[in-house]
Amino acid sequence: MAIVSLILVGLVAVEHIYILYLEMFAWTQPRTMKSFGLTPEFAQQSKSLAANQGLYNGFLAAGLIWGLVHPDAEFGLQIQLFFVLCVVVAAIYGGLTAKRSILFIQGGPAIVALVALLIHMFV
């Protein structure tokens, strides 16, 4: 289960790097606006807020990667667990307050990674 949890946590990190890209650098691009259901006017008005949110998603990715590469494997698992839980909480909040699909797109992979981590740590 160790390899599975590493791969899943890595995928959650990559997903958040992609979200960082969308929110910080591609927010006003047609494909991004379509994905987020934005009008061009709203995308332009919310560009700086989206970039700030993208930065936070980058911090989540950085924390996950830190946990993956930490030289102390046991402490690395604890770091991964903390940041995966942060992603799950962010997904729940986003799903309840912004767009329900966030719960599945952002939360789904994180919940699967969380289960794999817990199995790896306690079984």
| Secondary structure element (H or E) that encloses residue 44, with its range | helix 40-45
SS3 39: coil
Which residue in this structure is represented by tokens 């949890």?
5
Please check whether residue 33 is in contact with residue 56, taking contact to mean a CB–CB distance below 8 angstroms.
no
pLDDT band at 11, cuts 50/70/90?
A: very high
The better pLDDT of the pair 1, 26 is held by 26
pTM of the model: 0.95
- pLDDT category at 1 given cuts 50, 70, 90 is confident
Query: Which contacts (CB < 8 Å, 24+ apart) does range 35-41 have?
Result: 36/99, 37/99
State the average pLDDT over residues 36-57.
Answer: 97
Distances in Å between the Cα of 20 and the Cα atoms of 1, 33, 61, 73 are 29, 14, 9, 27
